[in-house]
């Protein structure tokens, strides 16, 4: 029992010391957060966590590729680069705006209606903190593009054929979207009698 109490006191002493050492940093962070956005609660801590998660996953992926002994490509052919770029656009947009992906966003967002053809508008449900930061990430195709591109690049470096097939699928979806919009525009024009007014 005495040994357990001594261990508990040492643990408390360490906790107190960590609190004392980090107190100036926490104070500085609160001041920075207030000065950055005095009138709106921005999720700076959550966004910092998202950046840390991204960096950790990227470093882990790079370490895994290196440990596997795989040779990284010295160059990516232009066709593959275009394929991966269009797939990045389509995957990020699907995750952020597509009704089918709304269950993934639901814990962080509230449905607000249609925002365009086959896309929905959502609002971040929780303001401040980690859930807000995740809500911003999963509703922003520009933000998701970086995560998506990173995943595709790691896929390309480790399983290039499977990644090309996945990227081809999403590139075909993106091009089909363009075709759907062009068809709708032609149909609308034909129904209005071709007037440009």
Tens of pLDDT, residue by residue over 118-152, are 899 999 987 778 888 899 999 999 999 999 999 99
Alpha helices in the chain (DSSP H): 2-36, 44-68, 78-97, 102-105, 129-138, 141-158, 160-191
- 140/50 Cα distance (integer angstroms): 14
Q: Please state the domain extents for the chain.
A: 80-191
Q: Is 132 exposed, middle or buried (0-12, 13-18, 19+ CB in 10 A)?
A: buried
> pLDDT (tens digit, 9 = 90+) per residue, 150-180?
999 999 999 999 999 999 999 999 999 999 9
Residue 59 has pLDDT above 90, yes or no: yes
DSSP state of 74: S
**pLDDT digits 0-9 by tens, 85-105:** 999 999 999 999 999 999 999
What is the C-alpha separation between 168 and 79, in angstroms, rounded?
Answer: 11
pLDDT band at 3 (very low <50, low <70, confident <90, very high): low
């Amino acid at each position: 029992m005495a040994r357990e109490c001594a261990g508990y006191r040492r643990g408390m002493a360490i906790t107190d010391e960590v609190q004392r050492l980090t107190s100036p940093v926490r104070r500085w962070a609160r001041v920075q957060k207030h000065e950055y956005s005095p009138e709106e609660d921005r999720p700076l801590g959550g966004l910092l966590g998202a950046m840390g998660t991204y960096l950790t996953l990227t470093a882990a992926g790079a370490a895994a590729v290196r440990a596997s002994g795989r040779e990284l490509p010295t160059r990516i052919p232009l066709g593959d680069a275009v394929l991966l770029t269009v797939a990045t656009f389509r995957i990020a947009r699907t995750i952020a705006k597509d009704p089918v992906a709304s269950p993934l966003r639901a814990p962080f967002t509230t449905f607000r209606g249609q925002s365009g053809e086959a896309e929905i508008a959502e609002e971040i449900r929780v303001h401040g903190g980690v859930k807000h930061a995740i809500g911003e990430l999963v509703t922003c195709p520009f933000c998701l593009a970086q995560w998506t591109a990173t995943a595709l690049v790691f896929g390309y470096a480790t399983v290039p054929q499977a990644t090309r097939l996945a990227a081809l699928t999403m590139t075909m979806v993106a091009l089909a979207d363009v075709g759907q919009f062009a068809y709708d525009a032609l149909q609308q024009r034909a129904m209005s009698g071709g007037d440009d007014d």
